[in-house]
Structure 1
Amino acid sequence: MTRFNPQSILSSRTAAVEEASIIRMAQKARELAAQGHDIISLTLGEPDFDTPKHIRDAAFQAMNDGFTHYAPIPGMADLKVALAKKLKTENNLQYEPSEIIVSNGAKQSITNAVFATIDPGDEVILLAPFWVAYEGVIAMAGGNPVIVSADASEGFKVPAERIQAAMTEKTKLIILNSPNNPTGAMFSKDELQAIANVVCNHPHAMVIADEIYEYIWFDQKHTSIGSLPGMQERTITVNGFSKGFAMTGWRLGYAAAPAPIAKAMSKVQGTFTAGANAFVQKAAIAALEGPREDIEMMRQTYLARRDLILQGLNAIKGITTPTPTGTFYVFADVSAMFGKTLANHKIDNVDDLCNWLLEVHHVATVPGTAFGNKNALRISFATSNENLNEAIKRIARAFNP
């Protein structure tokens, strides 16, 4: 009998995708907690609120009404009508329901968009810092990520002229995430217009606008780049219910795109997973059309937590933290600590620092290397004030022993 090694048949696509640092750090935190350590985890990008009751009630009602069967691949008609209305009234975007594809989460919508548009060798511009999943999706589609970076002094927002300098005849997509994970940065309307001017002068470039955090804003409301002149035909707008409605476990997202692209995205989704959960789609209608008091309460709570953690971090020598204007993250530049020895531990880079904070001080964060930045770490403040205050105390002791 010939010996067989399962490792030998793995595809090159999977080799091109690394396990996300977020998952590794969260798993390490869970393991230490299971050993009895008091771990404060600030790793996962998940609201700590329960889904509002009227949405949960709508899901139960839908199940009782028999919505437990397959749903159409591109989404149920009544949800797509509700989404078209939402996009028009809230985002100033004019889409027919047929141009909207409901998915199993915004991540799937991004995957659908990339696979529907990218051929091997095509270039996709990523604005760093960027969400960890983008690179892997591009690699699996055979595309080439082109990383264009901004640092803390720029508020982690890449200027339009730097995007223009990175564009070539092979550029097919620019992925724009605003409000941004991991930085909390949000592009202003003027900044988006400058990017739109660059895109509109390119013969075949489009934007994937990842707007999953649109309801979590602090100083200015979110603007959809697709609403700017000439941009709707050049934009695939991606959104979902996970962050704003505290529905991460429900796995429901959507994308709106010009008709030929929407049709291609539906083909991709039909090949990989088919339609999204039927009763969850009914609950999503309740989310869109129901009361928004809980959504505003969550936003105000995140705002208070942002101010709390900024006050604490800014008092710690060695940390520089631009003020996030959206999401529930801060992206703290800790490069001033590199090369230093703290309590007999040499800190060479941000990965060292994050591991040390977790293993010694029992605070779990995510290194910026996961997001295309070597100088910062991400802290999620989607947790209680008690946890945030204790985490700040531990980080302060770690940085200034």
Structure 2
Amino acid sequence: MLKEKLAKRMNTFPLSGIRKVQAEAKELESHGENIIHMEMGMPDFDTPEYIKKACIQSIKDGHVFYTVGAGLLDLRKAISKKLEKENHLTYSTDEIVVTIGLSAGIFTVYAALLDAEDEVLIPNPVYPPYLNIPHLLGAKTIDYSLLEINNYQPDITEIENKITKKTKAIVIISPNNPLGSILTYDSLQHIAKLAIQYNLAVITDEIYERILFDKAVHYSIASFPHMKERTLTLNGFSKTYSMTGWRLGYIAGPKEIMPDINKLHGHMNSCATTFVQDAAITALTEEHEEVEKMVTAYQQRKDYLVRNLNKIEGISCTNPQGAFYLFLNIKKLGMTSEEAASYFLHTAHVALVPGTVFGSNGAGYIRMSFANSMKEIKTACFRIQAAVEKLKK
């Protein structure tokens, strides 16, 4: 009976392709198979001890009640200082809203900006919520390509040709999930020029900004001339501080729009968890070498994988500059992305995500997360190589 009452939009709203792989891998594990999980974008490090202690102390101190919807003032002050120091951005505390994870931030920003029939430009490939949520709102996504042949930099002419009178915003993700690429200063400069010329809002996801390799540099587009007033910057604590289960993110944007962002966020979530916010203040203000140590480990894993996977006949990958993902080109294996991911899961017992989960330009690719131990990574490489050799027999 109740199924008949579901909104029609739910008939086409997809299950997360990443979670689908995870569920299949867990099912195999329940039958005794040893699966190496490289499907989830989840750091394998424990949350740093100093952050956990701060959370425990907050609970002991009785900080278990609602906060104001925008988040604890001290946390917004700490975020403001972080943005000024690391991103060259000046935001007052009333230009920041603390959300329950970055996912809630994505939904909130989209819901605040997009009316039905509005168009939003999104990269292809892209992290799936950026593709799926606009459709839920009745808006339309128009993709622009990030291709391996272009080192995953956008074609600015393509973007400009896709701008119409209905285009309201453009999404950028750098460092990128699923590609591990970083938008260059020149690419960002060109996007900023288009945003100003065509009066577009910019939604920038910078959740992986601290996870950088080989001396790569991250730039925040809101720091470019005349861009702060049209940019919404999304970030959070999940990746940098290995706080995925803590669910804490934030939105920074111009003062004229943030009361509406906060109003919508308040109706959806009331506020983020109080003692988690206290822990986040400590994360920002008392960090020493915890993040650097994690990034050093990611660098070592990335270097090992790039070196060894490129030795496997039929598989290749570019050298990512950020995040903790490899986008493996498997076109020479003669399989679709879905077939390859399924093959490696069932034959090599390595869980990977089909590239098509992230859009049509993911065809011929699979995403691998190297947020896993070096021991597991070495075993995964051995298993993948053995599985590829098996294809030749």
Superposed pair shares fold, TM > 0.5? yes
In the TM superposition, what are the counterparts of 1:135-214 in structure 2 within 5 Å?
135-203=131-199, 205-214=200-209
Q: Is the 8 A contact 1:16 1:139 kept in 2?
A: no
Deviations 1:91-145 (A, max 9, x none): 0111110010000011111111110010000001111111011112111222101
Deviation of the 1:150 alpha carbon: 2.1
The residue number in structure 2 matching 1:224 is 220
Deviations 1:300-319 (A, max 9, x none): 10001000111111001111
Deviation of the 1:13 alpha carbon: 2.8
Q: Is the 8 A contact 2:102 2:248 kept in 1?
A: yes
Tell me how far apart the structure 1 counterparts of residues 8 and 153 of structure 2 sit (CA, whole Å): 33
Which of 356, 376, 391 is the equivalent residue of 1:369? 356
Tell me how far apart the structure 2 counterparts of residues 11 and 38 of structure 1 sit (CA, whole Å): 40
Secondary structure of 1:325's aligned partner: coil
Tell me how far apart the structure 1 counterparts of residues 12 and 66 of structure 2 sit (CA, whole Å): 33
1:378 corresponds to which letter in structure 2? R
Deviation of the 1:159 alpha carbon: 2.5
Tell me how far apart the structure 1 counterparts of residues 138 and 259 of structure 2 sit (CA, whole Å): 21
Tell me how far apart the structure 1 counterparts of residues 11 and 87 of structure 2 sit (CA, whole Å): 39
The residue number in structure 2 matching 1:342 is none
Q: Is the 8 A contact 2:83 2:89 kept in 1?
A: yes
Is residue 2:26 matched to residue 1:30?
yes
Secondary structure of 2:71's aligned partner: coil
Tell me how far apart the structure 1 counterparts of residues 283 and 264 of structure 2 sit (CA, whole Å): 27
The residue number in structure 2 matching 1:330 is 326
The residue number in structure 2 matching 1:288 is 284
Secondary structure of 1:378's aligned partner: strand
Q: Is the 8 A contact 2:153 2:187 kept in 1?
A: no
Tell me how far apart the structure 2 counterparts of residues 239 and 15 of structure 1 sit (CA, whole Å): 31
Tell me how far apart the structure 1 counterparts of residues 68 and 186 of structure 2 sit (CA, whole Å): 39
Range moving further from structure 2, 207-216 or 56-65: 56-65
Q: Is the 8 A contact 1:129 1:156 kept in 2?
A: no
In the TM superposition, what are the counterparts of 1:236-315 in structure 2 within 5 Å?
236-315=232-311
1:309 corresponds to which letter in structure 2? L
Range moving further from structure 2, 154-163 or 40-49: 154-163
Secondary structure of 2:256's aligned partner: helix
Which of 367, 378, 382 is the equivalent residue of 1:389? 378
- Percentage of identical aligned residues: 38
Which of 101, 104, 107 is the equivalent residue of 2:103? 107
The residue number in structure 1 matching 2:369 is 380
Tell me how far apart the structure 2 counterparts of residues 73 and 291 of structure 1 sit (CA, whole Å): 26
The residue number in structure 2 matching 1:70 is 66
Tell me how far apart the structure 2 counterparts of residues 173 and 191 of structure 1 sit (CA, whole Å): 17
Deviation of the 1:320 alpha carbon: 2.2
Deviation of the 1:16 alpha carbon: 3.0
Stretches of structure 2 lacking an aligned partner (at least 5 in a row)? none
Is residue 2:7 matched to residue 1:11?
yes
Stretches of structure 1 lacking an aligned partner (at least 5 in a row)? 339-346
The residue number in structure 1 matching 2:345 is 358
The residue number in structure 1 matching 2:52 is 56
Q: Is the 8 A contact 2:153 2:184 kept in 1?
A: no
Count of residue pairs the alignment pairs up = 387
Secondary structure of 1:259's aligned partner: coil
Deviations 1:137-182 (A, max 9, x none): 1112221011111221122222322211211111111111100000
Deviations 1:28-50 (A, max 9, x none): 11110110112111100000001
Q: Is the 8 A contact 2:238 2:245 kept in 1?
A: yes
Q: Normalising by the residue count of structure 1, what TM-score does the alignment of the two structures yield? A: 0.94
Q: Is the 8 A contact 1:152 1:321 kept in 2?
A: no
2:139 corresponds to which letter in structure 1? G
Deviations 1:332-357 (A, max 9, x none): 1111222xxxxxxxx3x110111111
Which of 82, 86, 95 is the equivalent residue of 1:86? 82
Tell me how far apart the structure 2 counterparts of residues 265 and 12 of structure 1 sit (CA, whole Å): 27
Deviation of the 1:87 alpha carbon: 0.8
Tell me how far apart the structure 1 counterparts of residues 188 and 73 of structure 2 sit (CA, whole Å): 32
Q: Is the 8 A contact 1:114 1:137 kept in 2?
A: yes
Range moving further from structure 2, 159-168 or 219-228: 159-168
Q: Is the 8 A contact 1:129 1:149 kept in 2?
A: yes
Q: Is the 8 A contact 1:332 1:378 kept in 2?
A: yes
Deviation of the 1:197 alpha carbon: 1.1
Range moving further from structure 2, 389-398 or 18-27: 389-398
Tell me how far apart the structure 1 counterparts of residues 146 and 245 of structure 2 sit (CA, whole Å): 32
The residue number in structure 2 matching 1:344 is none
Which of 10, 34, 37 is the equivalent residue of 1:41? 37
Tell me how far apart the structure 2 counterparts of residues 190 and 149 of structure 1 sit (CA, whole Å): 17
Q: Is the 8 A contact 1:39 1:362 kept in 2?
A: yes
Tell me how far apart the structure 1 counterparts of residues 10 and 74 of structure 2 sit (CA, whole Å): 37
Quickly say closer, same or farther: Cα 1:290–1:207, change in 2 above 3 A: same
Secondary structure of 2:46's aligned partner: coil
Q: Is the 8 A contact 2:160 2:194 kept in 1?
A: yes
Deviation of the 1:267 alpha carbon: 1.4
